[in-house]
């Protein structure tokens, strides 16, 4: 890691299939940021078990996400790509930070309320404690910036609050992280209901385009995408949510600006527009899928990437945890 660079941290859960929203809002941005920052990219399997998982599927999805990261262009030589549970300091720091976090703060977290409603039969402490573990994730690496979508803002804010609270009780120990918001494609919406964020756990899978979808499936989903009764292809999220969502997706997958995207479809119909967006997405995803499959066939290589990533992450995490233990009075050898 380069001491002259700031540190960036991000984590993605290996649950369900990732969508193009995850690609645009997270992975694609990682590619642009990995040369500018010291990057830690975690596969957040500890967060994943707040909801019951099939163990075999969780293991396979962990490998699949690792392979996907590399297939998309993340460099395991210059960044730390690792599995969260392979660095025990995450759980250890979480316990300490629990003593600097108030129950009322956790009960007010939007994600806790949402997940409690969806999983009423399993409202466990992990669901409530999720933001504290996320704060531990971030603070362990003396993180400067956390790339997030607008819906994750609350988690960065609570991490900042916990860091400042700890620093005020003792001496400055943690860097107070900043959220890094991506302007274009920060929120990609459901194709069938553009008032909602595209989700990898949506009830109707036809509204979400998954990174594992084949070309025919991608084209079919875009052909069914909701637009409106107008015929104008113009970016106007308030009045033309469906069309604006498709323009954002097209812009993200072609590298063109919204204005350039609008110009591409001036005078054209919605049918041609939706087909072109679908093809732009498929053209990008098909080679990524092929490379991911190739990597998954080489489990020995993926294991070596996980091991080196964990060693790199553990080195930094342990330095922070040792400082914390000293500050709070834990006796250490």
- Based on the fold, state whether residues 102 and 26 are members of the same structural domain: yes
Q: Is residue 194 part of a domain?
A: no
Q: Is 33 in contact with 172 (CB distance < 8 Å)? A: no
Q: Is residue 189 part of a domain?
A: no
> What is the model's pTM?
0.88
**219-268 residue pLDDT tens:** 999 999 999 988 899 999 999 999 999 999 999 999 999 999 999 999 99
CA atoms within 13 A on the CB side of 312: 21
- Based on the fold, state whether residues 40 and 73 are members of the same structural domain: yes
Which of 6, 187, 200, 327 is the catalytic position?
Answer: 200
Q: Is residue 2 part of a domain?
A: no
Q: Is residue 177 part of a domain?
A: yes
Token representation of residue 63: 């490998």
268 is catalytic: no
| Dihedral sign, Cα of residue 233, residue 235, residue 241, residue 243 | positive
Q: Is 280 in contact with 253 (CB distance < 8 Å)? A: yes
CA 135/CA 126 separation, integer angstroms: 14
Which of 5, 6, 113, 115 is the catalytic position?
Answer: 115
Which of 238, 255, 237 has the alpha carbon at shortest distance from 246?
Answer: 237
- Based on the fold, state whether residues 260 and 319 are members of the same structural domain: no
Which of 175, 197, 240, 274 is the catalytic position?
Answer: 197
CA 41/CA 9 separation, integer angstroms: 6
Q: HEC states along 197-264?
A: ECCCCCCCHHHCCECCCCHHHHHHHHHCCCCCCCCCCCCECCCEHHHHHHHHHHHHHHCCCHHHHHHH
323 is catalytic: no
- Based on the fold, state whether residues 220 and 152 are members of the same structural domain: no
Q: Is residue 239 part of a domain?
A: yes
- Based on the fold, state whether residues 78 and 21 are members of the same structural domain: yes
197 is catalytic: yes
Q: What is the pLDDT along the chain (333 residues), one digit of tens a residue?
A: 777 899 999 999 997 788 998 888 888 889 889 999 999 999 999 999 988 899 999 999 999 999 999 999 999 999 999 999 999 999 999 999 999 998 888 778 777 666 666 767 777 888 788 899 999 999 999 999 999 876 678 889 999 999 999 999 999 999 999 999 866 555 789 999 999 989 877 778 999 999 999 999 999 999 999 999 888 999 999 999 999 999 999 999 999 999 999 999 999 999 999 999 999 999 999 999 999 999 999 999 999 999 999 999 999 999 999 999 999 999 988
Token representation of residue 286: 């098909």
CA atoms within 13 A on the CB side of 228: 19
Q: Between the CA atoms of 156, 147, 92 and 111, what dihedral angle is there, to the nearest 10 degrees?
A: 50
Contacts of 84 (CB under 8 A, 6+ apart): 11, 42, 43, 44, 45, 46, 47, 90, 137
CA-CA distances (angstroms) from residue 107 to 101, 103, 112?
Answer: 11, 6, 7
Domain, as residue range, for 322: 7-181+299-328
Which of 70, 45, 71 has the alpha carbon at shortest distance from 57?
Answer: 45
């Amino acid at each position: 890691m380069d001491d002259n660079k700031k540190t960036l941290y991000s984590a993605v859960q290996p649950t369900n299939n990732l969508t193009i929203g995850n690609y645009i809002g997270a992975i694609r941005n990682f590619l642009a940021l990995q040369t500018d920052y010291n990057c830690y990219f975690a596969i957040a399997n500890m967060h994943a078990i707040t909801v019951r998982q099939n163990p075999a599927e969780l293991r396979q999805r962990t490998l699949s996400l690792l392979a996907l990261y590399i297939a998309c262009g993340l460099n395991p030589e210059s960044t730390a790509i690792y599995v969260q549970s392979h660095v025990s300091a995450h759980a250890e720091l979480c316990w300490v930070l629990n003593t600097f976090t108030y129950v009322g703060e956790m009960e007010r977290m939007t994600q806790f309320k949402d997940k409690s409603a969806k999983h009423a039969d399993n409202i466990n402490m992990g669901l409530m404690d999720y933001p504290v573990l996320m704060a531990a994730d971030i603070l362990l690496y003396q993180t400067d910036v956390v790339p997030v979508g607008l819906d994750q803002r609350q988690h960065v804010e609570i991490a900042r609050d916990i860091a400042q609270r700890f620093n005020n009780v003792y001496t400055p120990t943690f860097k107070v992280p900043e959220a890094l918001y991506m302007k274009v494609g920060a929120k990609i919406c459901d194709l069938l209901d553009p008032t909602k964020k595209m989700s990898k756990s949506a009830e109707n899978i036809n509204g979400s385009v998954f990174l594992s979808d084949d070309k025919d499936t991608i084209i079919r989903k875009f052909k069914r995408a909701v637009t409106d009764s107008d015929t104008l292809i113009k970016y106007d999220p308030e009045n033309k949510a469906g069309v604006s969502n498709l323009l954002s997706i097209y812009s993200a997958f072609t590298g063109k600006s919204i204005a350039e995207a609008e110009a591409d479809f001036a005078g054209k119909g919605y049918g041609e527009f939706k087909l072109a967006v679908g093809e732009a997405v498929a053209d990008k995803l098909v080679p990524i899928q092929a490379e991911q499959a190739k990597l998954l066939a080489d489990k020995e290589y993926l294991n070596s990437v996980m091991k080196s990533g964990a060693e790199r992450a553990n080195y930094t995490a342990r330095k922070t945890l040792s400082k914390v233990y000293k500050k709070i009075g834990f006796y250490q050898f």
